[in-house]
Amino acid sequence: FFKNKSSIVNISSFSSISGGPYSSHYAISKSGIETLTKNLSIFFKDKKIRVNAISPGLIRTRLAKNFKNHPYFERILLNRIGETEEITNVVEFLLSNKSSYINGQIINVDGGMFLK
């Protein structure tokens, strides 16, 4: 069902790293997406299908309307939340030939949230 040399991009979340007392089920599912990404990149190697995932940080959506109150907001090195276009730019890159040597990776798009 996938053509040779295709590219798959899964969406994870910073919750796979941090979890939380009220979101254990969500964190576990996103950790599963990351493991699935790595395993599928191995499974599809003969078809040269690349499989990667993006792990967004705090992104401006209706779910993040109170982002300044989020406990991790102060950790973001860029001192702002991300925009949806910044996620789609990475998706477009991973689907393009410009990323032809990237496979089995989880790319954090989080403004440096987990570096401090």
Q: What's the pLDDT score for residue 20?
A: 67
Structure tokens that stand for 78 in this block? 């860029």
What pTM, to 2 d.p., does this model score? Answer: 0.90
> Do 96 and 88 contact (CB within 8 A), yes or no?
no
Task: Kindly name the residue from 22, 26, 72, 101 that is annotated as catalytic.
Answer: 26
Per-chain mean pLDDT for the chain:
91
Instruction: State pLDDT tens for residues 18-62.
Output: 876 678 888 899 999 999 999 999 999 999 999 999 999 999 998
Q: Catalytic residue at 101?
A: no
